[in-house]
Amino acid sequence: MKDDISQEAKEALANLSKRKARDRLVRDGAGSRDAIQRRVLAFAKERKLPPAEYAKLMHKRILTGNLIPFCQKHGVSPEWLLCGDLRALQRMVQERKAEAVVDDTPYRELLAAFGKLDRAGRKAVVSYLQTQT
């Protein structure tokens, strides 16, 4: 007799903890209209979105046709927005941080070149930039 459990049983055990977490969220009311709207408002405030961007998500019923484009445009996890899933929020934050890593080599080169200029050259560059904005 084998002591190993089948792959199907392993998946069922892993899914059990996910189901329990979802059940707790449902029991706590994380999927209620008010809770969803609070998350939308918190997200909009954090990202400084104008009300027109999220107005369609503040109605009594959130339509999929409004939700999906909003989530794609702003990089929001629908699982977090609709259900309050904190792991989805964690993934969303990690993905945003990964995207924020930028190669700043051109800026370093620009600053190095600017640093090599004499005082008159720096003044000329600064005055030129001020006229361009």
* pTM given for the model: 0.61
pLDDT band at 114 (very low <50, low <70, confident <90, very high): confident
Within a domain: 86:
yes
Q: Are residues 70 and 123 in the same domain?
A: no
Indicate if 95 and 111 belong to the same structural domain: no
Is 113 inside any structural domain?
yes
Residue 133 covered by a domain: yes
As a whole number of angstroms, the distance between CA 70 and CA 91 comes to: 17
Q: Is 84 exposed, middle or buried (0-12, 13-18, 19+ CB in 10 A)?
A: buried
Q: Is the same domain home to 53 and 75?
A: yes
Structural domain that includes position 108? 103-133
The reply to whether 109 and 126 lie within a common domain is yes
* Shared-domain flag, residues 70 and 120: no
Q: What does the pLDDT look like over 74-100, one tens digit per residue?
A: 989 999 998 888 889 999 988 888 877
Q: Please indicate, yes or no, whether residues 81 and 109 belong to a single structural domain of this protein.
A: no
Per-residue pLDDT at 39: 92
Are 82 and 110 in the same domain?
A: no
Question: Rounded to an integer, what distance in angstroms lies between the CA atom of residue 116 and that of residue 112?
Answer: 6
Same domain? 34 vs 96: yes
